[in-house]
Amino acid sequence: MTDSEATIDALLSEGRVFEPSEAFRRQALWSDPSIYERAASDPEAFWAREAGRLSWFEPWGDVLRWDPPWVKWFLGGKLNVAHNCLDRHVEAGGGDKVAFHWEGEPGDRRSLTYRELLEEVCRLANGMKSLGVRKGDRVAIYLGMIPELPVAMLACARLGAPHSVVFGGFSAEALRDRINDAEAKVLITADGGYRRGQEVPLKRNADEALRGCPSIEHVVTVRRTGGDHPFVEGRDVWYADLVGDQPAECPAEPMDSEDMLYILYTSGTTGKPKGIVHTTGGYLTGCSTTHRAIFDIHDDDVYWCAADIGWVTGHSYIVYGPLANHTTGIIYEGAPDWPDKDRLWSIAERYGATILYTAPTAIRSFMRWGEEYPQKHDLSSLRLLGSVGEPINPEAWVWYWKHIGGERCPVVDTWWQTETGHILITPLPGITRLKPGSATRPFPGIEAEVYDEQGRPVPPGGGGYLVLKRPWPGQFRTIYKDPERYVETYFSRYGKETYLAGDGAKRDEDGYFWLLGRIDDVMNVAGHRISTYEVESALVDNERVAEAAVVARSDERVGQAIVAFVTLKSGQTGDRVVAGELREHVAKVIGKIARPHGIIFTDDLPKTRSGKIMRRLLRDVAEGRALGDVTTLANEEIVEQIRGMSTEASSQE
């Protein structure tokens, strides 16, 4: 039995099954399991009922038009996303409720009510109009986690100008590519942002990017860090000067349900980022419904999604879903270990957070830092926890449940993608019996399956490809300016009606889904299909290991050989004996076939700024190749260190 199985078994034997507690179930918004059958019997009626919770200027006709692989939802309906997120709550008397508690990394704080947020959005929308922004124009946004970021997104939504938010950690080059692909007319940025006590030079990067961006006519700069910045006459304007005299009222543009709300770039298998296009009515229906049901949103909740708004998680679950549901949220600007490793817990305590939604990578960092950090704070306000972004290994799940959730908060492991717009596979916390490490079941109205190469459903226990078999309202409508790539990447393998998610998965005998990582991360070792994730999970299950990343190296003998990059917990030293022990541990957990051929101990793993491990670089190191593009790395220095060690590892076998 593995360490985490032993932990879970011990918990189960104490009677701690992960059933929703009676207390949770009693107060949950969704607690009747028949919702699954009801939604499955008529998914369109299910989603139409949910769409009816929004405010529409004009009603829709048909709920769905499906011309595979193209979809449209709520045809002919007219609405505005900013109006749904702000005006209607203020009009209903909810203007004094806090929309966001914001905390800057240096410790400055600001709370914005729904009324204040509405007024700020209107002022900026009017300012943007004065710069010539009209419905349909694209606006690029390159900001850190400050209140002006959601303000800018909502101002765009109000005018019907699709935004393209570029994560503040991206380089000038990445920003330039994205601005040019979208042909954005205006860029909204800041002089700088704070991260780990340092200033992120946003305006400097923007200026560098803009040397090659002919479409940009104006740059709006928020003053955050201060200091002098070169301004281009006629192009540049300070945010405060632009909004200062503007009226706090601005009509919300009636948008067609299928009008574009935003573009968000995400990486695919090739180098060129894909512009994922999301639209209005279906997207807002999907985000608000899933947010409300999965996070069980009540009026007095203080909800904290600790992602960055620059990624889809922040778009859907910091900005659009929560605001549509009139929720109070928390936004924190900086690093979780600044000035110390208890920063998140001090914020959660200060605002009385009731719900926390974060990523397994973050959870594993918290584990590595130790439970003494959360223990310094009163986290008893928390009642629900969420996880997103990667498969969560059971050990991290149990740690999160125990040390952050105090063994009383359900953990919802939510599977989705930039492309899907909102969560699709997830527990419902008042209904679902949880299994640590499983995202459990498709959300009501969603039909998912695991297929083999031939497109046959894989029996329980077997691995295959995750597919979605019918449309859902928030799905992306195309890749910006590249509809062929949309069809080719997602709708060619099993035909135009079946969405290929690009993830491996298996189902268990209860029908639960277990995500196995990207299909491009699946290794084939001596004819056996092994997910890098399964090996990583086995390694992390060992008590010495903090984090692990596994890649395949081509090998004459077995086709692909497994190389594991391992970060040990503090106080542990990596040597041949420990390497041998870890190899045996993996053999014990999965089978000898999965035993890593080489183990490389490293202080850290190369990660993107969103915290994803860059396996592509690790594969380059494992194969002894020149490294590919490292521009999206958050910690470049670690690559050199790992490269130096790779020889050692190869000789280990």
Which residues contribute to the site for ligand PRX (CB under 6 A)?
A: 266, 312-313, 388-391, 413-418, 439, 501-503, 515, 518
- For 360-440, where are the E strands, in sequence order? 384-388, 411-414
| Minimum distance of ligand PRX from residue 514's CB (angstroms) | 9
| Minimum distance of ligand PRX from residue 243's CB (angstroms) | 32
| Minimum distance of ligand PRX from residue 312's CB (angstroms) | 5
Give me the residue label for tokens 């966001």: 100
**For residue 186, what are its two tokens?**
């205006």
The residue among 182 and 392 lying less far from ligand PRX, judged by its C-beta, is 392
The residue among 608 and 635 lying less far from ligand PRX, judged by its C-beta, is 608
The residue among 386 and 574 lying less far from ligand PRX, judged by its C-beta, is 386
Q: Work out the burial of residue 92: count CB atoms within 10 Å of its CB; fewer than 13 is exposed, 13-18 middle, 19 or more buried.
A: exposed
Residue type, 422: H
637 CA to centre of own chain: 25
The residue among 56 and 167 lying less far from ligand PRX, judged by its C-beta, is 167
The residue among 254 and 502 lying less far from ligand PRX, judged by its C-beta, is 502
- For residue 444, what are the contacts with CB-CB under 8 A and spacing of at least 6? 35, 36, 38, 39, 40, 46
d(CA 516, CA 531) in angstroms, rounded, equals 6
Q: Work out the burial of residue 228: count CB atoms within 10 Å of its CB; fewer than 13 is exposed, 13-18 middle, 19 or more buried.
A: exposed
The residue among 415 and 601 lying less far from ligand PRX, judged by its C-beta, is 415
| Minimum distance of ligand PRX from residue 418's CB (angstroms) | 3
**For residue 631, what are its two tokens?**
């521009």
| Minimum distance of ligand PRX from residue 84's CB (angstroms) | 22
- For 409-462, where are the E strands, in sequence order? 411-414, 448-451
d(CA 155, CA 129) in angstroms, rounded, equals 10
283 CA to centre of own chain: 16
The residue among 160 and 410 lying less far from ligand PRX, judged by its C-beta, is 410
Q: Are 458 and 53 in contact (CB under 8 A)?
A: no
| Minimum distance of ligand PRX from residue 182's CB (angstroms) | 18
The residue among 430 and 611 lying less far from ligand PRX, judged by its C-beta, is 611
| Minimum distance of ligand PRX from residue 100's CB (angstroms) | 21
Q: Are 439 and 415 in contact (CB under 8 A)?
A: yes
Q: Are strands 198-200 and 193-195 parallel, antiparallel or unpaired?
A: antiparallel
| Minimum distance of ligand PRX from residue 276's CB (angstroms) | 8
Q: Are 582 and 566 in contact (CB under 8 A)?
A: yes
Concatenated DSSP letters for 311-334? SHHHIIIIIIHHHHTT-EEEEE-S
- How far are the Cα atoms of 98, 102, 636 from residue 640, in angstroms, in the given order? 46, 37, 8
The residue among 175 and 501 lying less far from ligand PRX, judged by its C-beta, is 501
| Minimum distance of ligand PRX from residue 319's CB (angstroms) | 14
| Minimum distance of ligand PRX from residue 501's CB (angstroms) | 6
The residue among 255 and 396 lying less far from ligand PRX, judged by its C-beta, is 396
